[in-house]
């Protein structure tokens, strides 16, 4: 391959006119990685809490609440994330009253970051919601009856019976969704969050040494995924219900 | 900003967009078919009694699950020509990347599907004298597929939306085509709203269609 | 007893490869107006594309394949280097800035366009020079040489400007249009292009001195001086006999997109200087 | 006043009528067995008593509180009626003791100590004190069902409902559950029991209700039911389940 | 020669020994009932006969073919032994007739017509001709189990294995299945039946095997078993399942 590998672009610390080194681009990658983690983590908080609510609402009896949740899932899951990112960034502020729109665009701290977080969070919430719903539906009707028959109120039935069991069942797909948030956070670059992928692109444009940067990014993704999977396996082991062979086998 | 919404740009770019949609659909269908086939084979490997085979399938799946699709496409596109010694062309390179990537996900889905078929069904097929392959073919896989339809659909929708990543290799699917028009003619708002609407309608139609098929299976 | 063109080809691995494949792979951009973009019929057109087509004619002569096929390979700013490195494209016709860092990875033909960073903003914003931006918001697109330039000036002059990074030029323009940013700093030619295509061009302005020097060039694979010389010969000829300026007028003055950018004195000088004699 | 009173209850699933004009009453301390062919509406009937299944027409009162009245606080009423299901329905993620404590803590607002103490008393009564810290999946079916009964009793209910409590059990485990139920009946608990265990009915029940196609076809004393007073359908049903 | 012969079969799941030194034989035309407490290894024992469960030690032969021998073509052997399961295990995606035809077509390579004809004969025998085109989920449990028996018989087996064929059924449906099985036994079919239905054993079985903790504790004629010759454990077991 006619490519001039030069790993020093990532690690050199002296400005050197002969090699491509103008600054240690390694720092860029570290900073990008930091933003990636921040976006993913903050978005996951939204996705998990909002998704749980949506998932629960999809299983309640009230047709209006159920309808609302269904519409939510339908919209957020059927529009590409990239497009949603654009809509949140450019269209959403225009729909607000003037003052509020201005605040969203300029007033609030880190507008790009929070826009990306909200977009990614609400998008992933539709996924999580579907998982939670599936988890709840996998629990037999009898469990719900038993909980109600003891006098638990609907919220208590979810809080103490349905959700704890449901979360255990859906740990594997939730892990996938979490990794999804992590990977999808790269789309935040389209609205100017300088996360990992954005930084590798910057390095590429500055130095034309893209392969080095991409390799570093790829390795980081793989390492993080491996860590997350390992952690989730431990979590799964921790919450396993004694005597049950496998809850998720349904 | 909506007062001078430029409908004309949408109308004039329709042929260009339709061409893009053609590629989107073609890639989606081929990647689903190929990914499902490869994924099913992988799932069978994962469940096979040979340790090395299930280990291989397991590592394959974990590897691809840990990579963002965009990086997979990227590496395929740039490294494959280097390995085979000549350009392979964007289309074949992304097609292979998509199939191999999706196969990892379909493998997990199929594995869950196969495992959801009760042991009793497997035993019943065996007790009738069906061989391993016949049992898979006539008893297990048909039930697994049916159980998996909703998840397969979700995955298909994701894939349908993900085809836009072909921009990496310079192919033009629907979203990329719209993006090109938007960039070339500076009409972002118009194009992105159109894209949102088109994807929404198509995914919804797909969803409703599948639900119908599912109902038919349920009564059948 | 070797004939001249055969010699030319002998020393060139790129031309050897083109001859073997029977196809030349031309990298082009899709929305880099008016340098290299997709026309209404779906084929790439533009200033750089025209230059490249001239170059390809020369190559055809050199390798004696008059019916050499051209394959158009779309590239982006992320893929152009990789595709050149792995041998997929034989030349890139876009709007790529030629700088010394990048020359570690690729070679360039002679400079065919000169631009630099300026500011695009709404009329009545009171913005003329970068100094007027103090305390305001500027849009910059990711990883461009313009970004570097603006940051350098900010540092040197101690101006405090808030930066909004965006993905590409139209998004940056949209950020200005929706008041997310007060100005967009990029190559002036791009600013004129964006302005000419906005719904109401009279609402916007391009102002300020050049904050950077950005010469564009056709990108070719590294370490093939024979191949590169062939291109430079063609360019020198065009610059010498005025065809280059004509081509420039076709695309920029006023140009199909009505961009209305007469050739600058610097560019004219550059054409003169690069018109090396045989 | 009867403890449970149903009058002219009708219930539909869409077009399909599951309960047809059902009326009956259960006095305090009375044990009533409900039997009938599969799909005849037994489970539905018993679930309407504590409002787990809504019904469209008629009235049901429990301890003089109307179940169908929208103003009734159903969770509060349900807390006073114990219920035991065919598949035990212990909560798999909670230990045996936690299963028994949950509603005491969250519904009756007892303290942790009180609930644990009551739990232990009841586990003792069903003979499972040593299993308190295990999880449901670690117990046999018969043990699980005994825990389920203890869980129902922990709320100090005024009546207990049973929906085929033994039909998911292995034959050897049926008796351990029936023995607990018999003891309960002897203690004077008001009980409504859907079951096919005619031996239990003969020994323990005061009255037997026979249902067919959503209708209460027979509602008479045990002696009448096992005597000759019963109708053709009930006769046929009994002959089916008693011959093997 | 006995039709089925097991000698000194041992089987482990990891460390746990499920079958301990089990030996028995079933002659042609003989009906053997296997009973015992839950978890005693009955299902495992019967599944080793046609190789659904592999075993580690001992030998089993069916019609003089060794089941444990790796050279044996197990699918072919299994095709000659019918098996009926506790949960029916009809294939839910195939109609009743397709369920019965599948193995005839794919294993015996019969033509479509032949298999359909044989299928109809057997559906007639179990009294379900009119259900041929329905799907399993549309039938009651008793009907499904009768179809499962017909499916097994369609292969013209030399022996039939039953694993608790009635324990998932509602009480009123148990007899319709037992009746079919009784008729089968009277026709001279070799049968091994795991069941708790002692009435059936008394009426139909020639021999009764009692298992406990993986061991064959009793293996004697029906009369001996229900007489006084049996051991303590069997006695206790019988008393448990016969009292209610
Ligand atoms: N959610 C439902 N929607 C529609 N029909 C139902 C529903 N639940 C029960 N049914 C129907 O109502 C009838 C009565 O059901 P129910 O469960 O009360 O019968 P059962 O007497 O308890 O039968 P089993 O002995 O099988 O438990 C049946 O025909 C059943 O199919
Ligand atoms: N796949 C397995 N892995 C480990 N242990 C098993 C497995 N299958 C069965 N066992 C154990 O083997 C023992 C015998 O099981 P088996 O199903 O043969 O009993 P059974 O007599 O048929 O009981 P039942 O009357 O409940 O059907 C049980 O203790 C069971 O827990
Ligand atoms: Mg019932
Ligand atoms: Mg068993």
* Token pair 């002696």: residue: D223
Confidence label for A18 from pLDDT (cuts 50, 70 and 90): low
A97 vs B169 pLDDT, higher one: A97
Cα of C149 to nearest chain B Cα, Å: 24
Of the partner residues D77, D92, D106, the one whose CB lies closest to the CB of residue A241: D92
* Ranges A9-23, A36-50, C68-82, E135-149: which has the least confidence: A9-23
- Provide the pLDDT for residue D125: 92
Helix (H, G, I), strand (E, B) or coil at B28: helix
User: Could you give phi then psi for residue C88, rounded to 5 degrees?
Assistant: -70, -45
Ligand 1 first shell, C-beta below 6 A:
D 13, 16, 18, 36, 38-44; E 170
Nearest 5°: CA angle at E153, between E151 and E111? 70
Structure tokens at D31: 């044990």
Instruction: Test D38 with E200 for CB contact under 8 angstroms.
Output: no
Domains and CATH numbers, chain A: 7-225 (1.10.3720.10)
Cα dihedral B77, B79, B82, B83 in deg (nearest 10): -110
Pairing of strands D16-26, D4-13: antiparallel
Choice from D34, D36, D38, D41 to test ligand 1 binding pocket (greatest atom count within 8 A of CB): D41
Rounded CA separation D190/D193 (Å)? 10
- Two tokens at D183? 């003891």
The alpha carbon of residue D161 and the mean position of all alpha carbons in its chain are separated, in whole angstroms, by 2
Q: Give the max Cα distance, chain B.
A: 72
The answer to whether the beta carbons of residues E177 and E31 sit under 8 Å apart is no
- Read off the DSSP letter of residue D94: S
Contact C15, C59 (CB under 8 A): yes
Separation CA D70–CA E201 (nearest Å): 54
Is the model's pLDDT at B219 over the cut of 70? no
Contact criterion met (CB below 8 Å) for D6 and D22: yes
Tell me which residue has tokens 């159980």: B147
Q: Do chains E and C touch (3 or more CB pairs under 8 A)?
A: no
**Comparing A105-109, A127-131, C187-191, D191-195, which segment has the lowest mean pLDDT?**
A105-109
Q: Region E35-46: what's the mean pLDDT?
A: 92
What is the residue with the minimal CA distance to atom 28 of ligand 1? D39
* Peptide bond just before D3 cis, omega within 30 deg: no
Name the residue among E75, E86, E90 with its Cβ closest to that of B129: E75
The pLDDT confidence band at residue E229, using thresholds 50, 70 and 90, is: low
pTM of the model: 0.84
CB-CB neighbors (< 8 A) of D241 in chain E = 171-172
Model confidence band, residue A12 (pLDDT cutoffs 50, 70, 90)? low
Give CA–CA dist B107/B155, Å, rounded: 12
Q: Write the pLDDT tens digit of every residue in C141-155.
A: 876 778 888 888 888
The model's confidence at residue B218, banded by pLDDT at 50, 70 and 90, is low
- Distance from C-alpha of D160 to C-alpha of D162, rounded to nearest angstrom: 7
> Partners of D161 in the beta sheet?
D83, D192
In ligand 2, the atom with minimum distance to the C-alpha of E86 is: 27
- Looking at the predicted structure, is the pLDDT value of residue C130 above 50? yes
- Look at residue D82 and tell me whether its pLDDT is greater than 90: yes
Q: What percent of chain A lies above the pLDDT cut of 70?
A: 90
Q: Point out the residue among C86, C104, C174 whose CB comes nearest to the CB of A4.
A: C104
Q: pLDDT digit string (tens) for E134-164?
A: 999 999 999 999 999 999 999 999 999 999 9
D157 or B72: which carries more pLDDT confidence? D157
Strand C91-93 versus strand C23-28 pairing type: parallel
Taking CA atoms, what residue in E is nearest to D166?
A: E244
Separation of B116 CA from ligand 2 center, angstroms?
Answer: 20
Distance between CA C33 and CA C193 in Å, rounded?
7
How confident is residue A248, by pLDDT bands cut at 50, 70 and 90?
A: very low
This model of the complex carries an ipTM of: 0.82
CA distance linking residue A214 with residue B77, whole number of Å: 13
Three-class secondary structure of residue B218 per DSSP: helix
Residue A82 CA: distances (Å) to CA of A13, A123, B83: 36, 11, 32
- Cβ of residue C21 closer than 8 Å to a chain B Cβ: yes
In this predicted model, what pLDDT tens digit does every residue of E94-119 receive, in sequence order?
999 999 999 999 999 999 999 999 99
Give, rounded to a whole angstrom, the gap between the first and last alpha carbons of chain D: 41
- Give bridge partners of residue D66 from the DSSP assignment: D61
Q: In what order do the strands lie in the sheet with D57-62?
A: D16-26, D4-13, D57-62, D65-66
Residue A141 has pLDDT above 80, yes or no: yes
Q: How far out from the chain centre does Cα B95 lie?
A: 10
Res D229: pLDDT: 62
For an interface test with B, the pick among A39, A76, A86 (most B C-beta atoms closer than 10 Å) comes out as: A86
Contact flag D75-A241 (C-beta cutoff 8 Å): no
Question: Do the Cβ atoms of C28 and C63 come closer than 8 Å?
Answer: no
Listed range (B174-183, C4-13, C24-33, D23-32) with the worst mean pLDDT: C4-13
Q: Which helix (H) or strand (E) holds E18?
A: strand E16-26
Q: What percent of chain E has pLDDT over 90?
A: 78
Confidence of residue E188 (pLDDT cuts 50, 70, 90): very high
Say yes or no: CB of residue E44 within 6 Å of ligand 2: yes
- Residue in E with minimal Cα distance to D238: E172
Structure confidence at residue A17 (pLDDT): 52
pLDDT given at position C3? 39
User: Across chain B, what does the average pLDDT equal?
Assistant: 86
Residue A20 has pLDDT above 60, yes or no: no
Task: Say yes or no to pLDDT of A64 above 60.
Answer: yes
Average predicted confidence (pLDDT) for chain C: 87
Nearest-Cα distance to chain B for E103, in Å, is 6
d(CA E243, CA E235): 12
Beta bridge partners of C118: C186
**Nearest residue on chain E to D171, judged by CA atoms?**
E241
pLDDT single digits (tens) D102-141: 999 999 999 999 999 999 999 999 999 999 999 999 999 9
The predicted pLDDT at position B220 comes to 46
Higher pLDDT, A220 or B211: A220
> C158: helix, coil or strand?
coil
When the pLDDT of each residue in chain E is averaged and rounded to a whole number, the result is: 92
**C186 vs C172: CA distance, rounded Å:** 10
Write the burial class of residue A208 (CB in 10 Å: 0-12 exposed, 13-18 middle, 19+ buried): buried
What does the H/E/C string look like for chain A? CCCCCCCHHHHCCCCCCCCCCCCCHHHHHHHHHHHHHHHHHHHHHHHHHHHHHHHHHCCCCCHHHHHHHHHHHHHHHHCCHHHHHHHHHHHHHHHCCHHHHHHHHHHCCCHHHHHHHHHHHHHHHHHHHHHHHHHHHHCCHHHHHHHHHCCCCHHHHHHHHHHHHHHHHCHHHHHHHHHHHHHHHHHHHHHCCCCHHHHHHHHHHHHCCHHHHHHHHHHHHHHHHHHHHHHHHHHHHHHCCCCCCCHHHC
C64-68, D152-156, E26-30: least confident range: C64-68
Interface of B with C in 184-203 (CB under 8 A): 184-186, 188-189
CATH class of segment(s) B7-219: mainly alpha
- Torsion, Cα C48 C49 C52 C54, to 10 degrees, reads -110
Give the number of the ligand closest to the Cα of residue D19.
1
The nearest alpha carbon in chain B to A93 belongs to B1
Mutate to test the pocket of ligand 2, among E40, E164, E194, E210 (most ligand atoms within 8 A of CB): E40
Distance from the CA of D38 to the center of ligand 1, in angstroms?
Answer: 8
Which of E38, E200, E243 is closest, CB to CB, to D244? E200
Higher pLDDT among residues A4 and C245, named by residue: C245
Q: What is the pLDDT of residue E105?
A: 94
The confidence score (pLDDT) of residue A19 equals: 53
Question: Would the pLDDT of C102 be above 90?
Answer: no
Asked whether the beta carbons of residue D244 and residue E37 sit closer than 8 angstroms, the reply is no
Give D239 or E52, the one with higher predicted confidence: E52
- CA distances, C151 to each of A21, A29, C102, C126, C156 (Å): 18, 19, 20, 21, 9
pLDDT (tens digit per residue) in B105-158: 999 888 888 888 888 999 999 999 999 999 999 999 999 888 888 888 888 888
Helix residue ranges, H only, E131-170: 141-153
Question: Taking CB atoms and an 8 Å cutoff, what residues of chain A touch D77?
Answer: 151
Sorting pLDDT into bands at 50, 70 and 90, what band is E73? very high
Q: Is the peptide bond between C34 and the residue preceding it cis, with omega within 30 degrees of 0?
A: yes
Helix and strand numbers (H, E) in chain C are 10, 13
**Residue A162: which of A45, A237, A46, A58 has the closest Cα?**
A58
Q: Dump pLDDT digits (tens) for B163-217.
A: 888 877 778 889 888 888 887 787 888 888 899 999 999 999 988 888 887 777 6
The CA distance from E85 to B73, in Å, is 49
pLDDT tens, C208-232?
888 888 899 999 998 899 999 999 9
Tell me if there are at least 3 CB pairs under 8 Å linking chains D and B: no
A198·C165 Cβ contact <8 A: yes
Cβ proximity of C136 and C183 under 8 Å: yes
Q: How far apart are CA D133 and CA D97, in angstroms?
A: 6
Q: Read off the pLDDT of residues C175-185 as tens digits, 9 standing for 90 and up.
A: 898 888 999 99
Question: What is the band of C5 on the pLDDT scale with cuts at 50, 70, 90?
Answer: very low
pLDDT at A247 (0 to 100): 40
> B45 pLDDT exceeds 50?
yes
Return the residue of B nearest to A75 by Cα: B200
Tokens for C195, please give them: 């302005």
Could you tell me how many CB contacts below 8 A there are between chain B and chain C?
A: 66
What is the band of C1 on the pLDDT scale with cuts at 50, 70, 90?
Answer: very low
A82 in Cβ contact with A190 (< 8 Å): yes
Q: Are E170 and D38 in contact (CB under 8 A)?
A: yes
């Amino acid at each position: 391959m006619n490519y001039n590998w030069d790993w020093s672009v990532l690690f050199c610390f002296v400005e050197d006119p002969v090699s491509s080194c103008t600054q240690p681009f390694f720092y860029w990658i570290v900073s990008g990685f930091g933003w990636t983690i921040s976006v993913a983590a903050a978005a996951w908080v939204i996705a998990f809490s909002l998704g749980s609510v949506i998932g629960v609402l999809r299983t309640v009896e009230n047709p209006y609440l159920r309808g609302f949740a269904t519409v939510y899932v339908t919209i957020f899951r059927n529009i590409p994330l990239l497009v949603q990112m654009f809509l949140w960034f450019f269209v959403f502020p225009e729909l607000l009253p003037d003052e509020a729109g201005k605040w969203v665009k300029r007033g609030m701290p880190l507008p790009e970051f929070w826009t990306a977080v909200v977009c990614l969070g609400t998008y992933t919430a539709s996924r999580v919601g579907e998982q939670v719903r599936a988890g709840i539906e996998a629990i037999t009707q009898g469990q719900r009856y038993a909980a109600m028959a003891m006098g638990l109120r609907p919220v208590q039935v979810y809080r103490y019976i349905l959700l704890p069991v449901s979360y255990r069942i859906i740990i594997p797909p939730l892990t996938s969704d979490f990794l999804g948030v992590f990977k999808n956070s790269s789309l935040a670059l389209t609205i100017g969050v300088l996360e990992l992928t954005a930084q590798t692109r910057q390095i590429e444009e500055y130095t034309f040494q893209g392969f080095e940067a991409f390799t570093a990014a790829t390795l980081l993704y793989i390492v993080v995924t491996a860590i997350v999977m390992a952690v989730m396996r431990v979590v799964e082991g921790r919450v396993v219900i004694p005597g049950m062979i496998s809850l998720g086998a349904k | 900003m909506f007062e001078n919404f430029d409908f004309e740009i949408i109308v004039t770019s329709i042929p260009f967009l339709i061409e893009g949609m053609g590629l989107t659909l073609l890639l989606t269908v081929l990647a689903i078919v190929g990914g499902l086939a490869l994924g099913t084979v992988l799932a069978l490997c994962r469940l096979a009694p040979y340790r090395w085979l299930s280990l291989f399938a397991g590592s394959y799946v974990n590897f691809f699950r840990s990579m963002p699709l965009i990086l997979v496409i990227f590496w395929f596109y740039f490294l494959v020509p280097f390995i085979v010694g000549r350009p392979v062309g964007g289309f074949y390179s992304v097609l292979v990347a998509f199939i191999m990537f999706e196969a990892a996900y379909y493998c997990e889905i199929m594995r869950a599907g196969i495992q959801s078929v009760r042991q009793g069904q497997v035993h019943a097929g065996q007790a009738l004298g069906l061989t391993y392959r016949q049992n898979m073919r006539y008893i297990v896989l048909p039930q697994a597929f049916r159980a998996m339809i909703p998840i397969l659909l979700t995955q298909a929708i994701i894939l349908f939306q993900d085809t836009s990543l072909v921009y990496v290799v310079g192919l033009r699917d629907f979203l990329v085509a719209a993006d090109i028009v938007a960039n070339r003619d500076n009409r972002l708002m118009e194009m992105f709203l159109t894209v949102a609407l088109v994807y929404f309608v198509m995914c919804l139609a797909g969803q409703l269609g599948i639900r119908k098929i599912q109902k038919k299976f349920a009564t059948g | 007893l070797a004939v001249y063109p055969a010699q030319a080809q002998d020393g060139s691995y790129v031309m050897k490869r083109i001859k073997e494949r029977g196809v030349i792979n031309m990298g082009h951009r899709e929305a880099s107006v008016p340098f290299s973009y997709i026309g209404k019929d779906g084929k790439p057109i533009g200033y750089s594309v025209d230059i490249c087509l001239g170059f390809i004619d020369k190559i055809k002569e050199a390798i004696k394949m008059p019916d050499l096929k051209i394959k158009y390979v779309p590239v982006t700013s992320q893929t152009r280097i990789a595709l050149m490195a792995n041998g997929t494209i034989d030349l890139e016709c876009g709007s790529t800035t030629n700088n010394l860092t990048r020359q570690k990875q690729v070679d360039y033909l002679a400079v065919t366009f000169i631009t630099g960073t300026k500011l695009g903003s709404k009329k009545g914003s009171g913005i003329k020079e970068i100094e007027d931006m103090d305390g305001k918001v500027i849009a910059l697109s990711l990883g461009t040489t313009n970004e570097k330039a603006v940051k350098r000036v900010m540092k040197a002059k101690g101006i405090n400007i808030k930066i909004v990074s965006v993905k590409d030029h139209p998004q940056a323009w949209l950020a200005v249009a929706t008041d997310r940013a007060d100005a967009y700093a990029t190559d002036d030619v791009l600013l004129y292009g964006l302005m000419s295509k906005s719904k109401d061009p009279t609402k916007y302005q391009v102002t300020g001195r050049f904050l950077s020097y950005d010469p564009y060039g056709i990108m070719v694979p590294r370490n093939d001086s024979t191949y590169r010389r062939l291109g430079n010969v063609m360019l020198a000829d065009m610059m010498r006999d005025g065809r280059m300026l004509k081509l420039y007028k076709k695309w920029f003055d006023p140009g199909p997109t009505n961009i209305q950018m007469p050739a600058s004195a610097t560019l004219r000088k550059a054409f003169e200087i690069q018109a090396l004699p045989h | 006043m009867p403890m449970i009173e149903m009058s002219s209850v009708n219930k539909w699933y869409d077009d399909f009528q599951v309960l047809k004009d059902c009326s009956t009453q259960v006095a305090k301390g009375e044990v009533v067995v409900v039997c009938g062919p599969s799909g005849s509406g037994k489970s539905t009937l018993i679930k309407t008593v504590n409002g787990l299944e809504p019904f469209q027409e008629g009235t049901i009162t429990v301890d003089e509180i109307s179940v169908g009245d929208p103003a009734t606080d159903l969770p509060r009423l349900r807390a006073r009626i114990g219920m035991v299901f065919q598949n035990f329905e212990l909560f798999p993620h909670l230990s045996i003791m936690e299963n028994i404590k949950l509603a005491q803590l969250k519904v009756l607002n007892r303290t942790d100590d009180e609930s644990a103490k009551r739990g232990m008393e009841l586990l003792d009564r069903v003979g499972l004190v040593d299993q308190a810290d295990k999880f449901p999946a670690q117990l046999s079916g018969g043990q699980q069902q005994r825990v389920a009964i203890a869980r129902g009793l922990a709320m100090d209910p005024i009546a207990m409902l049973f929906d085929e409590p033994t039909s998911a059990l292995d034959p050897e485990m049926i008796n351990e559950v029936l023995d607990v139920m018999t003891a309960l009946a002897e203690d004077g608990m008001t009980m409504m029991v859907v079951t096919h265990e005619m031996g239990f009915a003969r020994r323990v029940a005061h009255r037997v209700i026979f249902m067919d196609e959503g209708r209460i076809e027979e509602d008479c004393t045990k002696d009448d039911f096992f005597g000759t007073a019963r109708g053709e359908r009930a006769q046929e049903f009994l002959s089916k389940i008693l011959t093997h």
